[in-house]
Structure 1
C-alpha cells in the first residue's frame, strides 16, 4: 500500500457479521488493510444526514464505507498483497484521520493535519462491493480482454453478486416477514409460513442457478469451483458468505441439500473459499452469527421436502 493509496474505514454495527461481513470478506480475501469502526455512539450520525462528516449524498443505513483520499495524488488503487495481518498497520492512522474530520466545502470531509486528505462515503452493500472489486483485484483475470469485454465481465460478476445478495435479503425476511421494527415473537406465524417457502422453493432455485453457473465455468476448463474464471472474485466471496450464513440459520435444510449431491459445486465453492480465508475465519475479526441477517430458529428449519 503506497502513501498515495486511499485508506478505508468500514462503519458498521458491533458484534454481528451482518451485511458488513460481505465488505470485510473483500478486504480480507485481498489482504488489504482496513479499519473496522463499530462505535455505536457515532454510527447513527452517518445515516439520514448531510451534516459533517458525511455530506452529500445522505446514507440510508450501514454498512457505510469511508474512503480517505490521500493528499499525495489520490489515484493509487492498491491490489491486495495477500497479507491479511496488515489490517492493524494502518488501522490507527485511518481511525485517527477519521476522528479529526471536518466538513469540506464540497460536502466531503477533510482532516486539518493530514494535508489535503478528504473522506468520501459510500453506502449500500452492492455499491460498496462494486467500488472495491476492481481496486482489490476481485474481478478475476482481465488480461487480454478489450475495454468492452472488461466492462461486460465486471457487470456479470456484479450480476452474480447481486443474485447472492438477494438470497441474503430473503433469508432476513424469513424471521422478519412483516416488519423490521417488530420482534420475531410478534410475527412467528408469518415467519413459519415464509420459511417453508424459502426452504423448499427459493433456496433450491437460487442454488440451482449458482450450480449451473459453476458447471458452465468448469466446462470452459476452469479447475477449482469458481463462478467466473479460476480466480476468486467478489461474487465468489458473496456466495460463500450466503451459503455459510444459511448453514448457520438452516442447518437441517443445508445438510439435506448438501447430502443430496445436486448442488455439489456450490458446496465445493464454499469449502474452497473457506480454505482461502482460513486465517480470517479462525481469527477474532470474524464475528459469530447471532441476531443479524442469518438467525437460527429451530422451528423455522427443516429438511427440504421431496
Structure 2
C-alpha cells in the first residue's frame, strides 16, 4: 500500500547541529518537511510522556516524526480491524518517531532516493553497497563528535570557559593528527571511486556516481570545519593532499546552493561547530 508520509524534524532552535544532516536529505531530495523547535513539545517525546507513536524511548534530538494522514490510516484500520493501535490513531492519522541521526538517515535514504547507484543493485551487491554508504556516514559522524569534543573535552555539561586549557590541548591533537586521518579516508575513498571508473570525470561522489546520504554527511562536517577551524582547513587545502575532499565539498555546495542561500539554512554559532581563534592554527 502506498501512503503519503509527512515528515517533521524535531531539533533545538537556532543551531544546525545534528539536525542539519537530516535537513540536507530533505533539501537535496526536494521533499517537504517541517522544522519543529518547540522544546516543551519534543521534551515530551524525550521523557516518554508523549504516548502516540513512541514505541521505543528516545535519548535525544534529532527526532524524526513520520505522520501517516487520517485517510491512509483509515485504510490501515479497515485492513486490520482487530488492531487497537490502528483504531486509536485513525481519527487524526498515525505518528511514528525515530531518533539517532544514523537511524534517521538509514530510514530516509531509500525513501528519498539517496542510495545513489546502490539502489540499482540486487542481492548481496546491493546490501554491501548500502553498508558502505552507512559506513561512510558513521565515519562522518565520528568526525562530527570529535569536532565537538575539541571545545568540550572534559564535560559536555560545563561551559567552554571552564575547560579552555584542556580544549587547547585537545584541539592541537585534533588538528595535527585526527583531522588529517579523517580527511585521508575520504580522499582515498574518492580516489578509489575514480580509479574504479577509470576516468578523471568520475570520483566526485563517495559511493558510485550519484549523491547519497554519505555525501551529504561528509559535506556537512567539512562545511562545519571550514567555519570552526578556517586557518587549519586552509592549510590542509593548500597542502594538496585532500584536493578531492575539497572539490567534493564544492560540488555539493553547488547542488545545495538554493537551500544554503535560504533562511532555512541555520548559521553556525554556538553548537557543534564553534569558531574559537585560540583553538585554530596560528
- Return the TM-score normalized by structure 1: 0.83
Establish whether residue 42 from structure 1 lines up as the match of residue 41 from structure 2.
Answer: yes
Please state how far the C-alpha of 1:43 moved relative to its aligned partner.
2.3
Change (3 A) 1:42 1:218: same
Equivalents in 2 of 1:270, 1:220: separation in Å? 21
Residue equivalent to 1:261: 240
Change (3 A) 1:181 1:111: farther
Please state how far the C-alpha of 1:52 moved relative to its aligned partner.
2.1
From the two aligned structures, give the one with the greater helix fraction: 2
2:115 pairs, out of 136, 139, 156, with 139
Establish whether residue 128 from structure 1 lines up as the match of residue 115 from structure 2.
Answer: no
Residue equivalent to 2:78: none
Please state how far the C-alpha of 1:220 moved relative to its aligned partner.
1.8
SS in 1 for 2:64: strand
Residue equivalent to 2:205: 226
Equivalents in 2 of 1:36, 1:259: separation in Å? 37
> Number of residues paired by the alignment?
270
Residue equivalent to 1:61: 60
Q: Map of 1:1-306 to 2, 5 A cutoff?
A: 4-71=3-70, 106=85, 110=89, 112=91, 114=92, 117-142=93-118, 145-221=121-197, 223=202, 225-302=204-281
Verify the 8 A CA contact 1:177 1:190 in the aligned structure 2. Answer: yes
Please state how far the C-alpha of 1:3 moved relative to its aligned partner.
8.0
Equivalents in 2 of 1:156, 1:253: separation in Å? 29
Verify the 8 A CA contact 2:118 2:130 in the aligned structure 1. Answer: no
Equivalents in 2 of 1:20, 1:251: separation in Å? 23
Verify the 8 A CA contact 1:50 1:56 in the aligned structure 2. Answer: no
Aligned-pair RMSD on alpha carbons?
A: 2.2
Equivalents in 2 of 1:63, 1:129: separation in Å? 11
User: Unmatched 5+ residue regions in structure 1?
Assistant: 75-103
- Return the TM-score normalized by structure 2: 0.90
SS in 1 for 2:47: coil
Verify the 8 A CA contact 1:55 1:109 in the aligned structure 2. Answer: no
Equivalents in 2 of 1:18, 1:261: separation in Å? 29
